[in-house]
Chain A
């Protein structure tokens, strides 16, 4: 077990990575300087908290709703502001973000609290079920047991399971796991096969044994997993609560694993999005708006679409955040929060995904590391940033990506599929 303080920091690094990445899509890849990104984080956090805590929806649905609500707000803010340029856009988005914050503040209490079950009302949201609760037992948890370990819950029905939802959650989770694991194995297999083919051309039996190992391995995996899957359904139907699908892992690692998968999944989506024709149009607009228009790229359409993608992921980050901190209120999602994300993007490099992770990691740890030196904290923090800006004005990664040699085979696999290799052969 890692101590709780460090656990929180690790969780925040991952959530901040998603948040900063979503902003980098807008600023780094499309060149639209938005200064109100915290608003989308806020909407995501509130949406997920309400959906999960008050209406007992499963957590994944909460995250999805968080993203959608943020994108809806993105539409409301984006349509009038994205026609503006440069500083004007920054000011307009900042204004809208402040308005969002105020609206959350004055929102009638009964929307959040009272009858719907979230104590604290609009001003302060707390007792939102935390990731560790949500992931321990798929499905929704009755609010009175939020924050408690199952063993601490006494009484007849410790967990209020919405069975249908639970089933869906389990199913989605299992399929997602199979896809991720299966894809990893497939990539490994292809790579091995490719290497073998290049080295020992013509030796059929080597290839056959490789195929045997691959398929055999998959079958063994499927068989051994059947037990787990089976167990998980015991958990789903409440037969035996120790047999939940994740009883094999400690809660802490389940949370980490979940977040790692979330970060990887979102990164993968972003990379594919940026490599698609839409992504190219978005980058072209950053490079030269007029030239893009001349190529027939409907400028506003793509700016808005990209903005919605960015705000969706910001909302997802907000949803994750809601279940990772004990409580929150609208004041946390102020200009400073937007600037935090901006700094992560700038530090890592605008238009660099790996840079974003670097920036998010450094700027999450740095303020914490400086916590001891109380009043000097902000001074050192700011000074560090100023120095970085002077010596690394383009951020640490510029717009390039850090790509170690190992995932090369993965990239090759992707390139094959995407036709880029075909293009170079043409």
Chain B
């Protein structure tokens, strides 16, 4: 569904991605793990068109989408849950969600999606009229994911969804990600929590300073001794 080929990204003199190649098959969960500053967020931001690619290309459904405008890509069914959530702190939960569905002109469809998101996160329904900024960190993360789901994406890019969450909430979030995936959404997941990320992944890649070092299925990487030592602390 999504293919990244020999992608290079430069921030001025910083060469953040040095030829990344990866593949995201339809209906699968693909995890990307790596140390801080390895370039994980950069990959997602480049895919969605927030950061320009220096060279290489990104293909989505056999369509070259390298350096396309973000809003065009969202309209094509790619959504990003950004690092640090970036929910609208002064808007209520419902307003946040409705902004997510702004591309949908059909009111019934919006209502339907809202229902789906509330089914996925019952907590958000309870907090419907609460102001985003007063939500707890976990609720904010749910809201960020819910907001992206309002766009009914076919490909969901998640940037560190477990960041700053208590262990039991982390488990919840990963369970939700799996649920979203089971409903047919392809997922590209960036994570610091390597164990959980590899456990739910169909395929996984390890990123080291801008290049993919190790690739394989989630199970293979969990068994890999390098991965164990560097990312699983075993």
Contact = CB atoms under 8 A, between A and B. Distances in A.
The contact size tier of chain A is 20 to 34
Contact of A287 (B89, B102, B115): B89
Interface stretch (B12-20, B90-98, B179-187): B90-98
B154 to A, nearest CB: 14
A346 interface: no
B90 A280 contact: no
A399 B118 CA distance: 27
B127 interface: no
Given A419-B110, A426-B114, A287 B88 contact: yes
B75 A296 contact: yes
A284 interface: yes
A420 B92 CA distance: 13
A419 B98 CA distance: 12
> Which of A280, A298, A399, A418 has the most chain B CB atoms closer than 10 A to its own CB?
A280
Interface in A53-96: none
A415 to B, nearest CB: 12
Interface in A75-128: none
A369 interface: no
Interface string A289-315: 011111111100000000000000000
Interface in A410-426: 418-420, 422-424, 426
B94 A423 contact: yes
Nearest to B94: A423
A297 B80 CA distance: 13
B103 A296 contact: yes
B107 A294 contact: no
Interface string B7-29: 00000000000000000000000
Contacts of A423: 94, 98, 110-111, 114
Contacts, number: 87
Nearest to B105: A277
Interface string A218-253: 000000000000000000000000000000000000
Interface in B89-130: 89-91, 94-95, 98-105, 107-108, 110-112, 114-115, 118, 128
The contact size tier of chain B is 35 or more
Interface stretch (B54-62, B65-73, B192-200, B209-217): B65-73
Given A424-B128, A426-B112, A426-B115, A295 B99 contact: yes
Nearest to A280: B99
Contact of B107 (A283, A290, A419, A424): A419
Interface string A254-297: 00000000000000000000000110110110011011111111
B111 A297 contact: no
B50 interface: yes
27 contacts: A277-B98, A277-B105, A280-B99, A281-B99, A281-B102, A283-B99, A284-B99, A287-B88, A287-B89, A290-B86, A291-B87, A293-B70, A293-B71, A294-B48, A294-B86, A295-B99, A295-B102, A295-B148, A296-B74, A296-B151, A297-B71, A399-B90, A420-B94, A423-B94, A426-B112, A426-B114, A426-B118
Interface of B: 48, 50, 69-75, 79-80, 82, 86-91, 94-95, 98-105, 107-108, 110-112, 114-115, 118, 128, 147-148, 151
Given A280-B102, A290-B50, 14 more contacts: A280-B98, A281-B102, A290-B82, A291-B82, A293-B70, A294-B70, A295-B100, A295-B102, A295-B148, A296-B70, A296-B71, A296-B75, A424-B128, A426-B111
